[in-house]
């Protein structure tokens, strides 16, 4: 079983003081014009701002999220699943995306140089499933910033998803790799050699599961998946759209959002009767639109590979 990159939120840094919680009033994803305007503003400013780690004192933000029956149906429609099934998609992604964007803005980071490398979602055992709670509250804060290399850091964010009455439903920990950062001059970094070592090994990891002994599913990523997933998740970016827009960003082809890959995995696990209380996924390489994928799962481990058998993501469930 792999070791997690993230720090459990119960482990606090000596002397650290949590920043005050600030309420953000975010438009709902179904308020298309308002949400798209808010998301576009965050995206454009995130791409245009000067890149540099100007602070490691991120904020602490919360926002309300409403899962309407219509939005729930749209999620199931995208993944072609029955809306009556209880599948733990991250329905709250639209609100979570805007909260994370605000935290990255606090740090002074340009979004062009940020990519997800790990996500850990822990569902509370006796809590209601996320898909059954219409009124939710998200709180998101910076855990820490850790050097990965001479010009790279890991930014670790912690999100709590609760019901309106305060019951904790799930936690979500995201580790983001940020390149082209002057770590020598950055303030307040927390050094952790184990994270740096695992990051260096990430792209060199090889597949370990024998497909003849695993549950295996094959998928072809649709050419429009980036745009269609954005309609339910709010994760819109030219990097996930047309080939030309991706090329203008320096990409050889448009990519699939890592959140979509994660939820595709959740869909396959549900098809074989698994509803993981804890899902830990690490992203090795980008997944491109029109790409053929294989998802293999055995016991608590899974791997996602391309048509050539190259490892794209892996983890435990």
We report the CATH number of the domain holding residue 223 as 3.10.129.10
The answer to whether 173 touches 184, Cβ cutoff 8 Å, is no
> Does 9 map to a domain?
no
pLDDT band at 11 (very low <50, low <70, confident <90, very high): very low
Same domain for 108 and 237, yes or no, is: no
Same domain for 207 and 301, yes or no, is: yes
Q: How high is the pLDDT of residue 14?
A: 44
Q: How high is the pLDDT of residue 293?
A: 97
Same domain for 109 and 48, yes or no, is: yes
Same domain for 189 and 246, yes or no, is: no
Cα Dmax for the chain? 53
Same domain for 175 and 108, yes or no, is: yes
Same domain for 195 and 84, yes or no, is: yes
Distances (CA, A) of 9 to 13, 18, 155, 157, 166: 10, 11, 14, 10, 18
- Considering the entire predicted model, what is its pTM? 0.91
Q: How high is the pLDDT of residue 1?
A: 46
Question: Residue 7 above 80 pLDDT?
Answer: no
Q: How high is the pLDDT of residue 195?
A: 87
Residues 196-222, mean pLDDT to the nearest whole number: 91
Same domain for 255 and 191, yes or no, is: no
> Does 114 map to a domain?
yes
Range of the domain at 279: 203-317
Same domain for 135 and 217, yes or no, is: no
Q: How high is the pLDDT of residue 299?
A: 93
Q: How high is the pLDDT of residue 5?
A: 53
Residues 117-132, mean pLDDT to the nearest whole number: 93
Residues 158-179, mean pLDDT to the nearest whole number: 96
Strands 21-23 and 60-66, how do they pair?
A: parallel
The answer to whether 270 touches 260, Cβ cutoff 8 Å, is no
Residues 16-45, mean pLDDT to the nearest whole number: 91
Same domain for 72 and 43, yes or no, is: yes
How many domains is the chain built from?
A: 2
- For residue 227 the two structure tokens come to 């745009």
| Domain end position, chosen among 171, 202, 233 | 202
pLDDT band at 167 (very low <50, low <70, confident <90, very high): very high
> Does 127 map to a domain?
yes
Same domain for 197 and 301, yes or no, is: no
Distances (CA, A) of 144 to 113, 186, 261: 18, 13, 25
Q: How high is the pLDDT of residue 17?
A: 65
| Domain end position, chosen among 150, 184, 202 | 202
Same domain for 77 and 212, yes or no, is: no
Same domain for 30 and 111, yes or no, is: yes
């Amino acid at each position: 079983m792999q070791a997690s990159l993230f720090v459990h939120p119960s482990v606090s840094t000596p002397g650290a003081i949590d920043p005050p919680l600030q309420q953000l009033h975010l438009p709902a994803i179904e308020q298309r014009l308002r949400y798209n305007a808010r998301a576009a503003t965050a995206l454009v400013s995130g791409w245009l701002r000067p890149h540099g780690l100007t602070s490691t004192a991120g904020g602490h933000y919360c926002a309300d999220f409403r899962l309407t029956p219509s939005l729930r149906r749209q999620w199931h429609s995208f993944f072609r699943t029955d809306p009556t099934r209880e599948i733990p998609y991250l329905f709250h992604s639209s609100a979570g995306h805007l909260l994370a964007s605000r935290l990255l803005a606090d740090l002074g980071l340009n979004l062009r140089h940020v990519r997800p490398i790990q996500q850990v979602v822990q569902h509370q055992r006796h809590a209601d499933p996320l898909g059954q709670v219409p009124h939710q509250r998200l709180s998101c804060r910076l855990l820490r910033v850790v050097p990965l290399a001479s010009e790279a850091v890991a930014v670790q964010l912690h999100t709590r998803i609760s019901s309106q009455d305060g019951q904790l439903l799930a936690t979500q920990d995201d580790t983001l790799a940020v390149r082209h950062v002057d770590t020598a001059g950055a303030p307040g970094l927390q050094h952790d050699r184990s994270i740096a070592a695992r990051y260096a090994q990430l792209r060199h990891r090889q597949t370990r599961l024998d497909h003849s002994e695993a549950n295996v599913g094959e998928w072809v990523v649709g050419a429009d998946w980036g745009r269609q997933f954005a309609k339910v998740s709010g994760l819109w970016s030219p990097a996930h759209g047309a080939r030309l827009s991706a090329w203008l960003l320096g990409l050889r082809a448009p990519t699939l959002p890592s959140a979509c890959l994660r939820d595709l995995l959740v869909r396959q696990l549900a098809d074989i009767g698994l509803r993981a209380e804890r899902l830990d996924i690490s992203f090795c390489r980008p997944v491109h639109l029109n790409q053929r994928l294989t998802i293999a799962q055995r016991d608590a481990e899974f791997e996602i590979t391309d048509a050539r058998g190259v490892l794209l993501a892996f983890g435990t469930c």
